């Protein structure tokens, strides 16, 4: 299957700082990428849909000014958690699809800890 | 809110036994997928079943789909300790297969050696 690489896998940051997470499709062009958030022992919650060259579409309840998404190319989407707080600590996972296939390919996830 | 509910939330079995997990969803779907997640890791795609299919097999996995009951089941036969993980069903609500998935709550499976 196609490979999606997410970086970093773990990050610890101080409250008030911003953290950028990258999601790259390594061997295909991803017209659409998705960002999910997962709290411990819970399921994945869709945060936003990222389309190359256009603004991201955020799910209800997700603050777009806090979670900045940029999909500048067909192989890269970034999620920036701005002014991070301890409650933003979570596991963030991206997925990517070409749009013409049914399977979405997931990154390895990023464990964010805000101290 | 999440689309699906899964049961059981947790399942513990002995190696060699079969494990069955169930997933229910609320709205019409285009397809339903099952994923596995090892602790703290990303998701691994297991199997996809389309809305016009009733059963699908892949190795030791068997998935059924009942659209009239809006439910699906995942059966893992002859389980192994390496099958220990969390299992999630996910539904793609769009008719154009965008890859936008809504996940169920998940079942945590423990297979004891």
- For the segment B60-82, what is each residue's pLDDT rounded down to a tens digit? 999 999 999 999 999 999 999 99
CB within 8 Å of B71: residues ≥ 6 apart: B22, B23, B24, B25, B65
**Residue B19, CB-side half-sphere exposure with 13 Å CA sphere:** 29
What element of type H or E holds A38? strand A32-38
Cα radius of gyration (chain B): 13
Indicate the Cα dihedral angle A84, A86, A91, A92, nearest 10°.
Answer: -20
Enumerate residue ranges in chain B where pLDDT < 70: 1-4, 93-97
Put simply, the answer to whether A34 touches B41 (Cβ < 8 Å) is no
Among B3, B23, B38, B42, pick the best mutation site for testing chain A contact (most A Cβ within 10 A).
B42
Residue-level pLDDT at A99: 64
Q: With CB atoms and an 8 Å threshold, state whether A103 touches B40.
A: no
pLDDT score recorded for residue B2: 46
Reported as type and span, the H/E element at residue B86 is: strand B85-92
The answer to whether the Cβ–Cβ distance between A32 and B99 falls below 8 Å is yes
Place of tokens 């209800």: A60
Q: Which residue has better confidence, A84 or A41?
A: A84
Query: Considering chain A, what is the average pLDDT of its residues?
Result: 91
- pLDDT value at A51 more than 70: yes
Is B98–A106 a contact, with Cβ atoms under 8 angstroms apart?
A: no
Q: What confidence tens digit (pLDDT) does each residue in A54-102 have?
A: 889 999 999 999 999 998 888 999 999 999 999 999 999 999 987 665 6
Residues of chain B with Cβ-Cβ distance to A101 below 8 Å are 97, 99
User: A111 and B40 in contact (C-beta within 8 Å)?
Assistant: yes
């Amino acid at each position: 299957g196609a490979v999606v690489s997410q970086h970093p896998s773990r990050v610890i940051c101080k409250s008030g700082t911003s953290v950028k997470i990258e999601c790259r499709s390594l061997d295909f062009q991803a017209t659409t990428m998705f960002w999910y958030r997962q709290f411990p022992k819970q399921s994945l919650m869709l945060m936003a849909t990222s389309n190359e060259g256009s603004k991201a579409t955020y799910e209800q309840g997700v603050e777009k000014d806090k979670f900045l998404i940029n999909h500048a190319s067909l192989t890269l989407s970034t999620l920036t958690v701005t002014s991070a707080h301890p409650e933003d600590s979570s596991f963030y996972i991206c997925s990517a699809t070409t749009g013409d296939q049914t399977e979405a390919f997931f990154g390895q996830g990023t464990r964010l800890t805000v101290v | 809110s999440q689309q699906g509910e899964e049961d059981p939330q947790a399942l513990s079995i002995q190696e060699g036994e079969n494990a069955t997990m169930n997933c229910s969803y609320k709205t019409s779907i285009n397809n339903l997928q099952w994923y596995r997640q090892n602790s703290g890791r990303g998701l691994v795609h297991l199997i996809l079943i389309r809305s016009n299919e009733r059963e699908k097999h892949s190795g030791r996995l068997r998935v059924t789909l009942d659209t009239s009951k809006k439910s699906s089941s995942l059966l893992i036969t002859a389980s192994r300790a390496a099958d220990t993980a969390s299992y999630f069903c996910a539904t793609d609500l769009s008719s154009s297969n965008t890859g936008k998935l809504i996940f169920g709550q998940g079942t945590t499976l423990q297979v004891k050696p």
